[in-house]
């Protein structure tokens, strides 16, 4: 599972010639772009590390010594847990692997379009997909147990981020479920199916579906979502992958964390002002800046405080233009210490309309636009009870969220 000493890792967009090679020296990754990447107008790292001759060392050790846009491909949270367990079963201690070794384990099965060679990804036996069985297995793994489905679950979810268990699958036109985080049949759409984590309510799937419905009413750009019935209990939440648009295509994706190298799980590392600044610098599109502002308002009024820098991302198109990716992981969340990861004009616990207006002024967003966005988002969030009933949220969870949203609404009004 370890690369040979001194062996560099080749980095490429899926299906293309290598764009760079990277090696470790003194605990920091050293990146060297290929001649073809230097001559290409596309920038795989939208802020740092321009495609220029010479070695470029990673700017920080915050991402295991990697360049931020490369570290995005490493699994974290649930995916890292699966990788650790799978390697342990093979007699390998993940703690003894370098960041490059772990990128080699990702190979061509990571998020977005980046691939790494040589790939050392373990291959699991692929059995028929049974989401109920995989959900049960995910709970066993979270308890420190796990059985026969562990390898399959790792194969389907090993490149995942976030704390909640999830698998990457493909849905065919006839309803068949295909397997794989890598290549799927041409007629299969790539989706992510989520299961509940230990601290989640039993109806977390319907909660996230209700939040997706509110986000659409609020004008937030969000991908297609659905609920998948379970044999027992609440249905599973599923969302279509925006980095896999279909027909074998992949889109290069970089999170806000990876783009500006802001540690994702450090509350206060950056704020919403920085998110909007980064969006303007990366996309050069004022509509994207306004969209980022709208998401801030939604996260505040909807109580989504798990809004750290890896919960926002950018996509690169075929000609190298960057755009804000659709919103994802929108749900009710208390956040660290009851605060937002990204503060609003310095306020993380209970941002008000005044804090939102201050961010708008910093970015030249017209007062009329702000008023319209706040009104639309507020009206959407006010439909929580209806959205919750439509999605099948349980009465206890619905009442809990209703009370919290009312508290947020009163504080926001000042």
d(CA 270, CA 343): 8
Residue 153 — very low, low, confident or very high, per pLDDT cuts 50/70/90? low
Average pLDDT of every residue of the chain: 88
Average pLDDT for residues 192-219, to the nearest whole number? 92
Q: Is the pLDDT of residue 21 over 90?
A: yes
pLDDT of the residue at 2: 73
* Range with lowest mean pLDDT among 244-258, 289-303, 310-324: 244-258
pLDDT of the residue at 395: 96
pLDDT of the residue at 353: 98
* Range with lowest mean pLDDT among 92-101, 108-117, 127-136, 223-232: 127-136
Higher pLDDT, 201 or 389: 389
pLDDT of the residue at 95: 81
pLDDT of the residue at 121: 76
Average pLDDT for residues 324-343, to the nearest whole number? 94
Q: Is the pLDDT of residue 359 over 80?
A: yes
254-311: pLDDT as tens digits? 999 999 999 877 777 899 999 999 999 999 999 999 999 999 999 999 999 999 999 9
Higher pLDDT, 81 or 304: 304
Residues forming beta bridges with residue 190, ordered by sequence position: 170
Residue of 259, 217, 337, 237 lying closest to 44 (CA atoms): 259
Average pLDDT for residues 360-368, to the nearest whole number? 98
Let me know the angle formed at the C-alpha of 8 by 249 and 10, rounded to the nearest 5 degrees: 15
The fraction of the chain above a pLDDT of 70, given in percent, is 87
Q: Is the pLDDT of residue 337 over 80?
A: yes
Residues whose CB falls within 8 Å of the CB of residue 254, separated by 6 or more in sequence, listed in order: 45, 46, 68, 69, 72, 112, 313, 314, 316
pLDDT of the residue at 322: 98
Q: Is the pLDDT of residue 150 over 60?
A: no
For residue 102 the two structure tokens come to 């772990």
Residue of 400, 404, 405 lying closest to 383 (CA atoms): 405
pLDDT of the residue at 87: 77
Residues whose CB falls within 8 Å of the CB of residue 131, separated by 6 or more in sequence, listed in order: 167, 177, 193, 228, 230, 236
Residue of 279, 289, 290, 286 lying closest to 315 (CA atoms): 279
Average pLDDT for residues 114-120, to the nearest whole number? 92
Higher pLDDT, 384 or 155: 384
Q: How many CB atoms lie within 10 A of CB 407?
A: 11
42-73: pLDDT as tens digits? 999 999 999 999 999 999 999 999 999 999 99
pLDDT of the residue at 161: 60
pLDDT of the residue at 181: 47
For residue 199 the two structure tokens come to 């601290």
pLDDT of the residue at 26: 86
For residue 145 the two structure tokens come to 């147990």
Higher pLDDT, 164 or 340: 340
Higher pLDDT, 31 or 167: 31
Q: Is the pLDDT of residue 248 over 90?
A: no
pLDDT of the residue at 174: 75
Q: Is the pLDDT of residue 13 over 60?
A: yes
Confidence (pTM):
0.91
pLDDT of the residue at 110: 84
């Amino acid at each position: 599972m370890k690369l040979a000493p001194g062996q560099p890792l080749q980095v490429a967009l899926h299906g293309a010639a290598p764009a760079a090679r990277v090696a470790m020296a003194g605990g920091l990754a050293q990146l060297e772009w290929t001649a073809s990447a230097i001559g290409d107008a596309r920038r795989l790292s939208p802020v740092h590390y321009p495609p220029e001759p010479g070695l470029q060392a990673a700017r920080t050790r915050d991402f295991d010594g990697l360049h931020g846009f490369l570290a995005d491909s490493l699994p974290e949270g649930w995916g890292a847990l699966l990788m650790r367990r799978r390697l342990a079963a093979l007699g390998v201690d993940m703690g003894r692997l370098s960041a490059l070794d772990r990128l080699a384990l990702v190979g061509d099965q990571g998020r977005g379009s980046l691939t790494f060679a040589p790939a050392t990804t373990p291959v699991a036996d692929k059995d028929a997909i049974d989401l109920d069985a995989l959900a049960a297995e995910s709970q066993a793994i979270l308890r420190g147990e796990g059985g026969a489905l562990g390898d399959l679950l790792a194969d389907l979810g090993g490149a995942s981020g976030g704390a909640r268990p999830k698998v990457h699958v493909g849905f065919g036109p006839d309803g068949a479920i295909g397997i794989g985080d890598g290549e799927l049949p041409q007629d299969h759409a790539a989706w992510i199916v989520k299961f509940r984590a230990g601290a989640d309510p039993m109806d977390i799937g319907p909660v996230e579906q209700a939040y997706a419905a509110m986000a659409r009413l609020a004008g937030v750009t969000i991908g297609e979502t659905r609920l998948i019935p379970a044999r027992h209990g609440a249905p599973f939440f599923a969302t279509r992958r925006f980095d896999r648009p279909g027909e074998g295509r992949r889109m290069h994706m970089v999170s806000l964390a990876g783009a500006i190298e802001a540690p994702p799980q450090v509350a206060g590392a950056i704020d919403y002002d920085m998110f909007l600044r980064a969006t303007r610098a990366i996309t050069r599109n004022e509509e994207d800046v306004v969209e980022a502002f709208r998401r801030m308002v939604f996260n505040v009024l909807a109580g989504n405080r798990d809004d750290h820098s890896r919960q926002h991302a950018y996509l690169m198109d075929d000609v190298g233009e960057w755009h804000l990716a659709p919103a994802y992981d929108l749900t009710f969340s208390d956040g660290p210490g009851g605060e937002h990861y990204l503060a609003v004009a310095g306020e993380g616990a209970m941002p008000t309309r005044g804090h939102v207006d201050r961010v708008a002024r910093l970015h030249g967003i017209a007062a009329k636009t702000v008023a319209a966005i706040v009104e639309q988002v507020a009206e959407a969030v006010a439909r929580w009870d209806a959205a919750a009933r439509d999605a099948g949220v349980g009465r206890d969870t619905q009442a809990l969220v209703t009370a919290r949203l009312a508290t947020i609404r009163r504080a926001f009004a000042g």
